[in-house]
Amino acid sequence: MGAYILRRLFLIIPTLIGILTINFIIVQAAPGGPVEQAIAQLEGYDQGATARVSGVQNDLSQGGASGNNTGDSSYRGARGLDPEIVKEIEAQYGFDKPAHERFWQMLKDYAVFDFGKSLFSDKSVIDLIIEKLPVSISLGLWATLITYAVSIPLGIRKAVRDGTPFDIWTSSAIIIGYAIPNFLFAILLIVVFAGGTWLDWFPLRGLTSPGFEEMSLFEQIKDYFWHITLPVIATVIGSFATLTMLTKNSFLDEINKQYVLTARAKGLSENKVLYGHVFRNAMLIIIAGMPAALISIFFTGSMLIEVIFSLDGIGLLGYEAVINRDYPVIFGTLYIFTLIGLLLKLISDITYVLVDPRIDFESREQ
């Protein structure tokens, strides 16, 4: 098992490089990068001024550029700007070097977890991630716990009572929930329970109330759960169906096998057969899907929820980075997410062996 783990760890490196390469090419080809945004800002087309180009604006106000200059530039909207100003903007955002040199430098920096600074917030990417991560972890942790706490027992119950009215109406309920996008359900929750039209039971935004630090411990806990209730419900609504049906089908497949009939013939109780024999084998496929579920709930699935409920987490950070073309934040978060996903996949393989020692990944690769 040790040799298998080492091979998987070494494979993480080319996988990360491949993913970063593909995304680097795509992002670089997308129009509206930070240099173009800065040029548009100087030309007066972008009203969302940022502090990072204030120095260049001062140069313009002091006569550093001539309005009649039609300097040669590859950027749309750069006509009328002094080429030196354009070069200064490029250097400010790190675009004064060829793309392959920037990519190679990024790989060297990322190898030592140096993700640079955000182009627009003047903070290091790692500090931004650490600052936003607790919100996403908080949302993802509760969503994951609730999803697994409900779906696995429900899936087992549906397998045991397959074809009964209980199985039919629960299947209908979870399929309806799965068909509703979580962002649409989030809006519905706001309209109904957050003062949108009917009830005003829950807050509309944020994870805590003003003055949270001055509250007692009990009041802080109460305030925290008051704020997180609607985002968690909106996050888990579509997660029940997949895991519940996966659990049910996995248990049904095992229940119909010969070893279960043999165990029953020996006089074992249904609970002993179900949880002593079937459970271990049926849970393997569920464990296999756990890394993807964690990544989806913690990061991808929470982005729209964080935007809708104004939760200052990783999802909202990534959304703003894409909108602003904040390349260091985009690639830094991509690197972290990919690395976590690959490590979770390795952990799931190790868990396979812990659940069922008969599985041997090393012999399968030979």
The three-class DSSP label of residue 121 is: coil
Residues 6+ apart with CB under 8 A from 318: 299, 303, 329, 330, 333
Range from 283-287, 300-304, 329-333 that averages highest in pLDDT: 329-333
DSSP for 155-174, written as a single string:
HHHHHHTTTSHHHHHHHHHH
**What mean pLDDT do residues 158-185 have?**
87
The secondary structure of residue 330, as a DSSP letter, is H
Q: Taking the CB of residue 279, how many other CB atoms lie within 10 A of it?
A: 15
Domain identity same for 76 and 185: no
Domain identity same for 294 and 168: yes
Closest by CA position to 37, among listed 78, 88, 81: 78
Whole-number Å distance between alpha carbons of 232 and 237: 9
φ and ψ of 80, to 5 deg: 100, -10
Query: In terms of C-beta density within 10 A (0-12 exposed, 13-18 middle, 19 or more buried), how is residue 42 classed?
Result: buried
Residue 358 is assigned to a structural domain of this protein: yes
Residue 8 is assigned to a structural domain of this protein: no
The three-class DSSP label of residue 181 is: coil
Which CATH number covers residue 230? 1.10.3720.10
Domain identity same for 140 and 181: yes
Q: Note whether 203 and 307 are within 8 A (CB).
A: no
Considering 82, 111, 140, which residue would you say is the last residue of a domain? 111
- Looking at the 3D structure of the chain, how many domains does it have? 2
**What mean pLDDT do residues 171-184 have?**
85
Q: Note whether 278 and 128 are within 8 A (CB).
A: no
pLDDT exceeds 60 at position 36:
yes
Please give the structure tokens belonging to residue 200.
Answer: 């005003």
Residue 171 is assigned to a structural domain of this protein: yes
Residue 25 is assigned to a structural domain of this protein: no
- Predicted TM-score (pTM) of this structure: 0.69
The three-class DSSP label of residue 237 is: coil
Residue 172 is assigned to a structural domain of this protein: yes
Domain identity same for 53 and 147: no
Domain identity same for 37 and 178: no
Domain identity same for 91 and 139: no
Considering 111, 139, 160, which residue would you say is the last residue of a domain? 111
Q: Note whether 115 and 124 are within 8 A (CB).
A: yes
Considering 111, 143, 170, which residue would you say is the last residue of a domain? 111
Dihedral sign from CA coordinates of 245, 246, 251, 254: positive
Domain identity same for 143 and 287: yes
φ and ψ of 117, to 5 deg: -115, 150
- Write out pLDDT tens, residues 315-344: 788 788 888 778 888 888 888 878 887 887
Domain identity same for 72 and 139: no
H-helix segments, 266-355: 270-273, 279-288, 290-298, 303-308, 314-324, 327-355
Q: What is the pLDDT of residue 144?
A: 82
The secondary structure of residue 240, as a DSSP letter, is H
Residue 14 is assigned to a structural domain of this protein: no
- Write out pLDDT tens, residues 145-155: 888 888 888 98
Closest by CA position to 234, among listed 293, 184, 171, 294: 184
Residue 58 is assigned to a structural domain of this protein: yes
Provide the domain limits for residue 100.
33-111
Domain identity same for 292 and 195: yes
Domain identity same for 39 and 168: no
Residue 13 is assigned to a structural domain of this protein: no
Q: What is the pLDDT of residue 39?
A: 63
Domain identity same for 198 and 79: no
Please give the structure tokens belonging to residue 34.
Answer: 């930070």
Closest by CA position to 95, among listed 70, 78, 113: 78
DSSP for 243-279, written as a single string:
HHHHHHHHHHHHHTSHHHHHHHHTT--HHHHIIIIIH
Domain identity same for 67 and 213: no
pLDDT, mean over the chain: 76
- Write out pLDDT tens, residues 212-247: 888 888 888 898 899 888 888 888 887 788 888 888
